[in-house]
Amino acid sequence: RCATVRAAAGGHTAVRRPVAMDAIMEKIAAGIAEKEAAQAAGKELAETLKTAEAYETLCPALVKAASDKKKTDARSAAMYAVEAICKENGSRGEPFMLGVYPTVLEALGDKQKEVRAAGKSAVKAFKKLTSKRKGCCAAVMPMLLEAMKSSKWQTKEAALTQLAAFSETSPQAVSYAMPDIVPIVCELMWDTKEDVAKAAFDAMTKAAGTTGNKDLDPLLPELLAALKEPTKVPETIHVLASTTFVQTVQRGALALVSPLLQRGYNERKDIIKRQCSVITSNMSKLVEAPEEASPFLPALLPAVGKATEEVADPEARGVCEKAYEQLKRIDEAAKAAKPRATDPVSIKGFLKEKFGDLNETVLSHAAACCCALVQAKEWDPTVWEKHMEPYLKLVTDSQPVKDFAKPFSEKMEEEARPAEEEEDADAAELLCDCKFTLAYGSKILLHNTNLKLRRGLKYGLLGGNDSGKTTLMRAIANEQVEGFPDSSQVKCVFVEADILGELSHLSCVEYILEYPGIKEMGATRESVMARLTEVGFIEGEGVACMLNMVGTLSGGWRMKLALARAMLQNADVLLMDEPTNHLDVINVKWVMDYFASLTSVTCVMVSHDTKFLDTVCSNILRIQDLKLKAHKGNLSSYVEKHPDAMSFFSFKASKSKMSFPQPGFLEGVKSKGKPLMKMANCEFTYPGNQKPTIVNITCMVSLASRVACVGQNGAGKSTMIKILTGELVPQVGDVWNHPNARIAYVAQHAFHHIENHLTKTPNEYIQWRYQYGDDREGLAKDSMIVTDEEKKLKQQPFLVDITGPNGEVVRIKKQIEELYGGRRNVKKGYEYECKFMNTGPEGNQYVHMDKLLKLGWEKDIKLVDEKIAARDRQASRPLTKANVEQHLGDVGLEAEYATHTRISALSGGQKVKVVLAAAMWNQPHIVILDEPTNYLDRDALGALAGAIEEFEGGVVMITHNDEFCRQLCPERWVLERGSDNIGRMSTEGDPEWMKNVLKQDVNFKDAAAEDRVDGMGNVIKGKARKKKLSKREAKKKQKEREAKIAAGLDVTSTDED
């Protein structure tokens, strides 16, 4: 039927017109009335199709016959011919027959019943043909989407039905096409024809299931309902915002959520726009290939950008801004991404390069199918052969195509692979090479990231606060990282310097022997003592004595104790969180040298000490965009390549802002130099120690103070501060605090403030702490515990003047039951309201403070003073959820963590901010910070420095961060141990600065004059307190008033005042 000759030059087949095909086609075009005859003609026609040229000649003729409006029989016969060709010739004719498919779909809406029936048979044959290979879906999808825009409802219904079928046979291809599918199918869910609307919803439901995103799967009913019914969008957005996304987000998932987000950003309520931004931020972080998000950015970026300008609530606007920045980064990454040769045009080029200039229709179809395999990440050579050989065998020999399938699939896999970091060429032993995802609670910290560790290398782990540094190290130590070798292969030990309270009475040796890991090893007392000796402990007397109680150790010696315990476990990998915290310069140098000596031990360390990282680290690991980015070299070399990391070096480069509330009014204090706290000749010895820790300590703190307390570890700095604040009571010497002054103290081991409140949110913790006006943490001070001697004094009766019923004064003996909370000013001090035993409140009397002090009521007086001092603060800022949330925001803790996250789920840096915020809530006049730089990254340190500079009260800090304290503190208290191992203090500073600042007047903020917000959110206008006149001013005012009265002038309320 078809004469062929082999072309001598190219080796291809030259074809003459198939005569029988023309004759049959003429018969079909003329019209065949009977169905059986039409089907028989179709089968005959299929047998004539042996070449690509034959198909190319036939297909236009079939389209012409199927579109002939004057001949019903021609249209139906053409449909039966299409059915026969699809059934008889199969995949061989698929590239050409797809050109006829749009016409077939249109035939379903023909006015004639016979044509519609024939069209259904043709569509059924097409479905069966294209379902054999999942790559065919990509070639058919554009035709289906175009058919959905048809004016004929039957055509739309058939296209939707075909889409639903593809969702089951070719889910990856459907998922990839979702950006094009969702807008069209969503619109059809509103179609006036019920059949179309129902088919659209069914197709959308099945297509939604192809995304493969398990995070979205449970929410698909709500998502689809919201896509169909816009009134459900706000509620669905709230549900999505509370969803924890863990899986990689691809274009299919984005296509489903993007329309909802666009509708949400058009809502009026700020809370909906905030929640949309939460979803945008959460999902975009899990987009691994930026090009996956490219189709949605043109619509989403302007919507989010508009929200950043329109949202009024500052916190919600901040969430929108973060989402906008995240989308911009993805957009920039997508634009900068290197093009990959995996698109249909490139694949077609590869096929031409291999097989020569073959038929364009065949090559284009094969390229489209192969491109779909790339998109589905299908690299099985047998599948690739199945998507090339059936088509290409029509125009070339089959065997070369089969042979090419394996190398071609490998080539495409290589082309599709994302760019990876350069392979580490280090020859050291590879301890681990794993890929994993890490989450903490509902927050994803790392997603599909790689980690490689080699023996003996020192890795610095970088990342902002709450990026997951400590969580990652704990997960490695607890064998919770997928793919990381277990402890039998690689022994990992997390080095912690915290001392458990129930073990604080043990000696250093006993403390290590009680550790579970050491017990399992069966370590001896001698081996423990040997290790302790290696890190600097001694057996004789002194702060470094290994027989001292661990509770008395300073922060530096605690770190050495932790290092000794870790090394006893024969660790392959040491995981260290801030190893230089609490260490002075000498001990930091010791740690540097010690790590350098560990040539066979790998160290992973988090530190905000840039000099330490520069000196010790051989490699840098940085947590960025949910990935671990590796770099060979120290911190300086890393910053050279990544200038955005400059904040690790300079406080001035800080992007964060932190602010402290300014001190409240303090009666009687007019000069910044007036002392508010004093110590005189104080000496203290810890229980169980033979020698005192500090002696002859004298110091003073005022509103002008900017003091850095420095010295070696164990010199007694923290001990001195605890005495100053009342946490400890000296055995010798005097301590005095201004009765109205409020003191904020953040201890060296800051987390002890919150360790009993881990199930509370930061907001709940601060509300609990100040629930009754005073600071409940302050009640636990040693200086506030009533001694037995004081209890006896308080039980002594004394003479009290009582006025009888006739006005006579009678003196009787009475015993005070309690101080009732009242206080009034008198000459030379205060009088306090007292309730007496066996007397009701109506019998209360005011007693002078001197008398009460003699009777042992000193500590109760302090409690009354503290409560009265708190009233001024409460007047301007009630203890409401909204006010506490704003206060936590001022110290850098976002509302998400301040109000909605438990303290137990916070990072170390966030917990420090909680402790700072709690201490600052009562607007203190003096802030005492013991190692405030621990756990804070450089960005947060810069913000803290700015807050301290702007604070109008006094500041005392202990820190080994020399750069930090020199920037802020012109005055220094230097504690040094003498030859007798006892700490003594000397002072240093800028005399000129100290002289000038002490003369400055106090300009207190009038809390009563500020507007305040009550628990119901009502704004109450403030009213400035009346200025108290001096005697001279009052006398002058009285004369002016009397002169006005004498002159017959009106006297105003101002004159009365």
Which residue's entry shows tokens 């197709």?
A: 203
Greater pLDDT, 1052 or 1012 = 1052
Phi, psi of 1051 (to 5 degrees): -105, 120
Q: What is the mean pLDDT of residues 988-1009?
A: 59
Tell me what pLDDT residue 7 has.
Answer: 35
Relative to beta strand 619-624, strand 492-495 is: unpaired
Check residue 306 and give its pLDDT: 92
pLDDT digits (tens, 9 = 90+) for 19-54: 688 888 888 888 888 889 988 998 988 888 888 888
| pLDDT bracket for residue 438 (50, 70, 90) | confident
Q: Which of 14-18, 225-229, 417-421, 581-585 has the highest mean pLDDT?
A: 225-229
- Residue 631's DSSP bridge partners are 620
pLDDT tens string 485-522: 888 888 888 887 665 545 667 888 888 888 887 888 88
Of 903, 909, 977, 957, nearest in space to 937 by CA: 909
The sheet carrying 816-826 orders its strands as 816-826, 829-836, 845-848
| pLDDT bracket for residue 423 (50, 70, 90) | very low
Q: What is the pLDDT of residue 805?
A: 75
CB 701 within 8 A of CB 676: yes
- Among residues 755, 787, 748, 780, the alpha carbon closest in space to that of 551 is found at 748
What per-residue confidence (pLDDT) applies to 3? 34
Distance (Å, whole) CA 354 – CA 368: 17
Stretch 215-244: mean pLDDT, rounded?
Answer: 86
Tell whether the model's pLDDT for residue 857 goes beyond 60. yes
Length of the chain: 1057
The yes-or-no verdict on residue 4 having pLDDT over 50 is: no
Angle (CA) 880 882 887, round 5°: 95
HEC per residue, 284-306: HCCCCCHHHHHHHHHHHHHHHHH
φ/ψ (deg, to 5) at 479: 60, 45
pLDDT at 808 over 50: yes
C-alpha–C-alpha distance, residues 838 and 281, integer Å: 66
Per-residue pLDDT reduced to its tens digit, 543-576:
778 887 776 777 677 778 888 888 888 888 998 8
Nearest in space to 620 (alpha carbons), one of 596, 597, 645, 601: 645
Provide the sign of the torsion angle of the four alpha carbons 258, 260, 265, 270, taken in this order: negative
Q: Has residue 989 got a pLDDT over 70?
A: no
Average pLDDT across the chain, whole number: 82
Mean pLDDT within 243-265: 86
- Structure tokens of 908? 């170390």
Read off the pLDDT of residues 96-125 as tens digits, 9 standing for 90 and up: 888 899 999 999 989 999 999 999 999 999
Residue 834: the pLDDT is: 93
Task: Please tell me the distance from the alpha carbon of residue 912 to that of residue 170, in angstroms, as a whole number.
Answer: 52
Query: Which tens digit of pLDDT belongs to each residue from 771-796?
Result: 877 777 764 566 677 888 888 888 88
Per the structure block, which two tokens stand in for 66? 């199927």
State the pLDDT confidence band at 836, using cuts at 50, 70 and 90.
very high
- Residues β-bridged to residue 1013: 1019
Band of pLDDT at residue 426, cut at 50, 70 and 90: low
pLDDT > 70 in the chain, percent: 86
For residue 1042, the tally of other CB atoms under 10 A from its CB is 11
pLDDT at 996: 62
The answer to whether the CB of 894 falls within 8 A of the CB of 906 is: no
Task: Classify residue 805 as exposed, middle or buried by CB count within 10 Å of its CB (0-12, 13-18, 19+).
Answer: exposed
Chain segment 157-198, per-residue pLDDT in tens: 999 999 999 999 888 889 999 999 999 999 999 899 999 999
pLDDT at 871 (0 to 100):
67
Max mean pLDDT among 198-207, 226-235, 459-468, 633-642 falls in: 198-207
User: Using CA atoms, how far apart are residues 994 and 998, in angstroms rounded to an integer?
Assistant: 6
Contact of 754 with 777, CB cutoff 8 Å: no
- DSSP state letters, 985-1054: EEEEE-HHHHHHHTTPBP----GGGS-EE-TTS-EE---PPPPPPPHHHHHHHHHHHHHHHHTT----HH
Phi-psi region of 296 (alpha: psi -120 to 50; beta: other; left: phi over 0): alpha
**pTM of this prediction exceeds 0.85:** no
Question: What is the spatial distance between Cα 550 and Cα 529, in angstroms, rounded to a whole number?
Answer: 14
pLDDT tier, 8 (very low <50, low <70, confident <90, very high otherwise): very low
